[in-house]
A and B are shown apart, each in its own frame.
Chain A
Amino acid sequence: MSAPSFHIARSTPESRFALVIGLLALVALVAGPYWIDRNGMRIVGEFLIYLSLASMWNLLAGYAGLVSVGQQAYVGLGGYFLFAWAILFGLPPLLAIPFAGVAGAIVALPVSLLVFRLKGAYFAIGTWVVAEVFLLLAAQISVLGGGSGISLPISVVRAIAESRDGRDMAVYWSTLGVAVAILIGIYLLLRTRWGLALQAIRDGELAAETSGVSVATAKRLLYVVAGAGGAMIGALIFLAKLRISPSAAFSVNDWTAFVIFITVIGGIGRIEGPIVGTFVYFLLRGLLADLGPTYLIILGAVAVGVMLFAPKGLWGLVADRFGWQLFPVGRRLVLDTSASAATSKGA
C-alpha cells in the first residue's frame, strides 16, 4: 500500500485571482499621471502612504506584538531629514528618500535598546514619549524653523522638477515606488524563515521562543525596519506638503491614530487587513470629513466596536468565513487523489 502522493502549494485560487488584479492595478497606477487628475493623484498618494504606514504598524503589532504609539517619531524624522538634506546641504531632494530610510534605521536601533526595556502597554507609551522628545528637539532647531516650522524654498522646489506637473509626477512615482517596495518587502519577508518566525511569535511568543526563534532579535529587526520605512514615508509626505513644522511632523493623530484605526478596522495580523482598512478609512473620510471632531468620534467608536466584537477586523471576519488568503504566506498540503483534491488549508 503506497502513501498518497501530494505536493505543497503556496498559492490559492483566490490569491492567483488577486495577483492578476494586483498587477492590473499596478499597471494602472504606474500610468496614473496620464489618466488621473491632479486631485486624484494626490488622493492616490495619500492612500499609498496610509497603506504603507498601516502595513508596517500591522507588522509590528500584529506579528511581533509590539504596539507602538510612537511611529510618528520616524515620520517626522524623515520629514526633517529631507528638509535638512535639501535646505542645509543643498542636495537633490528626491535622493533624500532612501537616505531618510537609512537615517530612520540608524536612529531606531538605539531607541529600541531603550524602549524594549518596557513591556506591553508601557512600551506603547514609551514610544510615545520618544516621539515627544523628537518633537521637542525639532522645535529647538532654529535653522529649520524651530517651533513654527519652515517651508521648502523655491530653489529646492524647483530642484525636484521644473514644472508643477513634473513635480507632481516625481512625487507620485516616488510614493508609488516606495509603497510598492514596502508592501512587496513585507510580503516577501513573511514568506521567508523570518516570516515564519514572526507568525510563530504572533501566535504564541513563549512557544516560539522555546522552538528556537530568537524573539528579541526578530522584534528588534522589525522595529528598525519600521523605523526605516516610516522615515522614507515621512520624507515623501513632506516632499508633497512642501512645508514642515514639529506639530505636523510628529502628529499623533495624523500618523498614528488614523494608522491604528485603519489596521484595527481592516484586520490585525494579516497582510490584507491594512488594504481593507485603508479603503474603509478613505470611504468614511469621504462621507464624514465635513463633520469635524464628530468624524474622529465615529472613527474611534468604530475601531472600539471592531476591537470588542470583531477583533480580527473586517478582513478577518470575511477571510475566516470563506477561508481566503490573497497574499499566501503559508504552505498547504494538497493531496493528489484522482477522486478529489483534498486540500487542507494551512496557516
Chain B
Amino acid sequence: MEWANVILQGILVGGLYALFATGLSLIFGVMRLVNIAHGDLIVLAAYVALLCVTQTSIHPLLAIFLVAPVMAVAGYGLQRILFNRTLGADLLPPLLVSFGLSVIIQNVLLQIFTADSRKLSAGAIETATLPIADGLAVGVLPLLMFVAAVAIIAALQFMFYSLPIGRALRATSDDPEVARLMGYDNRHLFGVAMALSLAVVAVAGVFLAVRANFDPALGPSRLIYGFEAVIIGGLGNLWGTLAGGVILGVAQAIGAKIDPGWQLLAGHLVFLAVLAFRPEGLFPKVDG
C-alpha cells in the first residue's frame, strides 16, 4: 500500500506540473514562442498572491480570482509591448529577450521581497485527507490541484475547438499571413494567447505558494518541470501534457522513495530517456 500511496501522490503532483506546462504549451502552439521567463512568471504570480492575501486577508485559494485577471492583463501587455517585437523568422530574439526577462523578474522579486522563503497558508485544507481505500488516502489539496489541471485543460480544449476565438487562434497559428487576410489582428490575438497563458500561470502560482515554500529563485526549476512534461507528453497536445506531468510526478515520487536525493534526478532521467528513445513524446499530435 505504501507504494500505491507514493504513486498516487506522484499522479496528483503531476497535475501541478501539467499546470506549469499548459501555459508554455499554449504559447508554443499558437505562436511558436518558448518563454524562458515562464517559470519566473509562475513565481511572480505566487508573490502577487502573497500581496493579495496580506492586503485583503482573503483565503489564498480564493486569491486565484484576483491574481488571474491581473496576470492576464499583464500577459496581454507583455505580448504587445515586448514579445510581438521579437516574433519573426529569427530564433534568437524571442529566446534571448525572454531569457533577459527571466533574469529581470528574478532580481526584481529579490529586490522587493528578499531571498526569504515564503509560504501561503490555506488552513485546514493543507493537511486534510480523503481516505479512498484501506490504507490509501489522498490529500485534499493535491486532489484539488489535479482537478483544477483537468478542468483548465478541458476548458482550453473546448475553447480551441468549439469557440470562434479558438478557431481564430488555430488559424493564426497555422498561417499568420493568411489570418490577416481574414481580417484577424495577429498582434491582438497573440496578446490574447499570452493573456490566457498567464491566467493559467496565475493558478499554478497560487498552488505553488500554498503547497510549499517559495522564493525568487524558484522560477527556472518550474520552467524545467513544465518543459519536461511537455516533451514527455508530446508537442501539440494538451492532454498529452497532462500525461507528461503525471509521468514526471510519478518518476519523482518513486525516486524520492528510493532516496530523497534522487527525487529530481529520477524525473530528469525519465525525461532524458524519453528524449533518447521516443523524442516525439508519448502522445504527440499527428500533424495533418
* A and B: bona fide binding partners: yes
Taking Cβ atoms with an 8 Å cutoff, the residues of A that contact B are: 61, 65, 67, 69, 113-115, 117-118, 120-122, 124-126, 128-130, 132-133, 136-137, 139-140, 252-253, 257, 260-261, 264, 268, 292-294, 296-297, 299-301, 303-304, 307-308, 311
| Cross-chain contact B91 with A122 (CB below 8 angstroms) | no
| Cross-chain contact B93 with A307 (CB below 8 angstroms) | yes
Main secondary structure of the interface of A (DSSP, over half): helix
15 A-B pairs besides A129-B271, A300-B103, A311-B92 with CB distance below 8 A are A65-B91, A67-B95, A69-B99, A114-B272, A114-B276, A118-B275, A125-B36, A128-B224, A129-B268, A132-B268, A136-B265, A139-B261, A260-B96, A293-B108, A308-B97
Query: Within 8 Å CB of B111, what residues of A?
Result: 292-294, 297
| Cross-chain contact A126 with B100 (CB below 8 angstroms) | no
Query: Within 8 Å CB of A311, what residues of B?
Result: 90, 92-93
Known: A124-B36, A132-B224, A293-B110. A308 touches B275 (CB 8 A): no
Task: State whether the Cβ of B101 lies closer than 8 Å to any Cβ in chain A.
Answer: yes
| Cross-chain contact A125 with B223 (CB below 8 angstroms) | yes
B96 CB contact (under 8 Å) in A120, A253, A303: A303
Smallest beta-carbon distance B230→chain A, Å: 8
Cα distance A14–B253 when bound, in Å? 61
Task: State whether the Cβ of B258 lies closer than 8 Å to any Cβ in chain A.
Answer: no
Cα distance A304–B110 when bound, in Å? 19
| Cross-chain contact B36 with A294 (CB below 8 angstroms) | no
| Cross-chain contact B91 with A120 (CB below 8 angstroms) | yes
CB nearest neighbor in A for B110: A293
Within 8 A of A (CB), among B99-121: 99-101, 103-104, 106-108, 110-111
Smallest beta-carbon distance B256→chain A, Å: 13
CB nearest neighbor in A for B85: A308
Query: Within 8 Å CB of A65, what residues of B?
Result: 91
Query: Within 8 Å CB of B136, what residues of A?
Result: none
| Cross-chain contact B104 with A114 (CB below 8 angstroms) | no
Cα distance A223–B137 when bound, in Å? 49
| Cross-chain contact A129 with B100 (CB below 8 angstroms) | no
CB nearest neighbor in A for B228: A129
* 7 nearest CB pairs, A to B: A121-B34, A293-B107, A304-B100, A300-B103, A300-B104, A117-B279, A293-B110
Smallest beta-carbon distance B217→chain A, Å: 9
Query: Within 8 Å CB of A299, what residues of B?
Result: 103
Smallest beta-carbon distance A223→chain B, Å: 16
Task: State whether the Cβ of B29 lies closer than 8 Å to any Cβ in chain A.
Answer: no
Query: Within 8 Å CB of A304, what residues of B?
Result: 82, 96-97, 100-101, 104
| Cross-chain contact A296 with B34 (CB below 8 angstroms) | no
| Cross-chain contact B268 with A136 (CB below 8 angstroms) | yes
Cα distance A136–B82 when bound, in Å? 35
| Cross-chain contact B272 with A136 (CB below 8 angstroms) | no
B275 CB contact (under 8 Å) in A117, A136, A139, A260: A117
Query: Within 8 Å CB of A294, what residues of B?
Result: 107, 111
CB nearest neighbor in B for A120: B91
Query: Within 8 Å CB of B92, what residues of A?
Result: 61, 67, 268, 307, 311
Task: State whether the Cβ of B52 lies closer than 8 Å to any Cβ in chain A.
Answer: no
Known: A124-B36, A129-B224. A307 touches B86 (CB 8 A): yes
Task: State whether the Cβ of B282 lies closer than 8 Å to any Cβ in chain A.
Answer: no
| Cross-chain contact B36 with A69 (CB below 8 angstroms) | yes
CB nearest neighbor in A for B93: A307
Query: Within 8 Å CB of B227, what residues of A?
Result: 122, 125, 129
List, sorted by A's number, 5 A–B pairs whose CB atoms are closer than 8 Å. A120-B91, A292-B111, A293-B110, A304-B82, A308-B97
| Cross-chain contact B91 with A257 (CB below 8 angstroms) | no
Query: Within 8 Å CB of A303, what residues of B?
Result: 96, 100
Cα distance A102–B211 when bound, in Å? 44
Cα distance A115–B279 when bound, in Å? 10
Cα distance A61–B92 when bound, in Å? 8
CB nearest neighbor in B for A124: B95
Known: A69-B36, A121-B91, A125-B34. A260 touches B99 (CB 8 A): yes
Smallest beta-carbon distance B42→chain A, Å: 15
Cα distance A139–B268 when bound, in Å? 15
Cα distance A311–B86 when bound, in Å? 10
B103 CB contact (under 8 Å) in A129, A132, A292, A296: A296
Query: Within 8 Å CB of B82, what residues of A?
Result: 304, 308
Smallest beta-carbon distance B111→chain A, Å: 4
Cα distance A65–B92 when bound, in Å? 8
Q: Mark B245-271, 1 if CB is under 8 A from A, else 0.
A: 000000000000000010011001101
A128 CB contact (under 8 Å) in B110, B220, B275: B220
